[in-house]
């Protein structure tokens, strides 16, 4: 009788121990996910990770509205939530950061005019835009000799189209850095400064005289930049050596067969 009671006690102790061990085991499926940080989501290039990454803005941000007059941006962060049209120039007094919501569009019928010409305009999106691509279109007025953008532009995503008019005008009168997205420039001159391509989904520069006046650098091994003397970029076939200055009228980005066009994050 004592032996039976002993074995019964041992059995119960083992079962209780097994239950406690099981409840303390690692079960990732039952662990709650950490909450997302506060702030507005946007995607930007990260030099340390060498790719586009998800970030969160906690600073003050202003929303851009429709206007029939010229607009002044003192600098800082701006949000484009819907379809916005600005009939007139945008006067940029300091560095500007533009976040485009999914399917948002900003149509500027004028010049994005940096006060000194050295201001920086950074463009971001809020996702990998599976539906309609957020877009910025800048078109200078006819019969003027105005640049599309006076300043430096960095594209982190979305679609950016700039069309300038005039015999000595530039689409971007400054440096252009493309980290992701679709970029189309056209005008008498394309980029007045340097062109740096860290990554992109599509890039086309069409000019009557010169596509890029400064140095052309491609940092993505899966992208080949090609140039041609003709205005039509479809015929661009000559590979451009990274880190050089080339007198081409048109430049496009070609992708190797194994190139990953999708976002790298």
- Say how far apart CA 246 and CA 191 lie, in whole Å: 12
Which segments of the chain have a pLDDT < 70?
Answer: 1-36, 68, 130, 143, 232-234, 236, 256-265
Question: What is the DSSP annotation of 124-158?
Answer: EESS--SSSPPEEEEEPPTT----SEESEEEE-SS
Amino acid 230: pLDDT = 78
Amino acid 265: pLDDT = 31
Amino acid 71: pLDDT = 86
Q: How far is CA 23 from the centre of its chain?
A: 46
Q: Which of 251, 222, 217 has the alpha carbon at shortest distance from 234?
A: 251
Amino acid 8: pLDDT = 47
Is 0.85 topped by the overall pTM? no
Phi and psi (nearest 5°) for 191? Answer: -110, 125
- Say how far apart CA 91 and CA 75 lie, in whole Å: 10
Q: Domain boundaries in the chain?
A: 40-255
User: Which residues sit opposite 212 in a β-bridge?
Assistant: 191
Structure tokens at 145: 């000799």
């Amino acid at each position: 009788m004592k032996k039976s009671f002993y074995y019964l006690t041992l059995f119960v102790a083992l079962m209780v121990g097994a239950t406690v061990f099981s409840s303390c085991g690692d079960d990732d499926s039952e662990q709650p996910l950490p909450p997302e940080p506060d702030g507005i989501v946007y995607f930007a290039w990260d030099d340390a990770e060498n790719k586009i990454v998800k970030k969160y803005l906690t600073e003050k941000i202003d929303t851009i509205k429709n206007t029939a007059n010229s607009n002044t941006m003192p600098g800082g962060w701006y949000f484009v939530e819907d379809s916005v049209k600005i009939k007139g120039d945008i006067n940029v007094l300091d560095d500007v950061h533009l976040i485009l919501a999914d399917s948002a569009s900003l149509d500027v019928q004028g010049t994005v005019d940096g006060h000194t010409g050295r201001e920086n305009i950074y463009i971001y999106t809020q996702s990998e835009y599976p539906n309609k691509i957020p877009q910025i279109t800048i078109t200078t007025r006819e019969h003027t000799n105005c640049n599309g953008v006076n300043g430096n532009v960095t594209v982190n995503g979305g679609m950016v189209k700039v069309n300038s008019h005039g015999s000595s005008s530039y689409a971007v009168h400054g440096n252009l850095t493309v980290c992701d997205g679709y970029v189309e420039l056209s005008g008498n001159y394309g980029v007045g400064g340097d062109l740096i391509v860290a990554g992109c989904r599509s890039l086309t520069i069409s000019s009557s005289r010169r596509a890029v006046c400064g140095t052309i650098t491609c940092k993505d091994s899966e992208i080949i930049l090609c140039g041609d003397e003709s205005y039509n970029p479809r015929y661009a076939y000559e590979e451009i050596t990274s880190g050089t200055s080339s007198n081409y009228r048109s430049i496009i980005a070609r992708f190797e067969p194994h190139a990953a066009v999708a976002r790298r994050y």
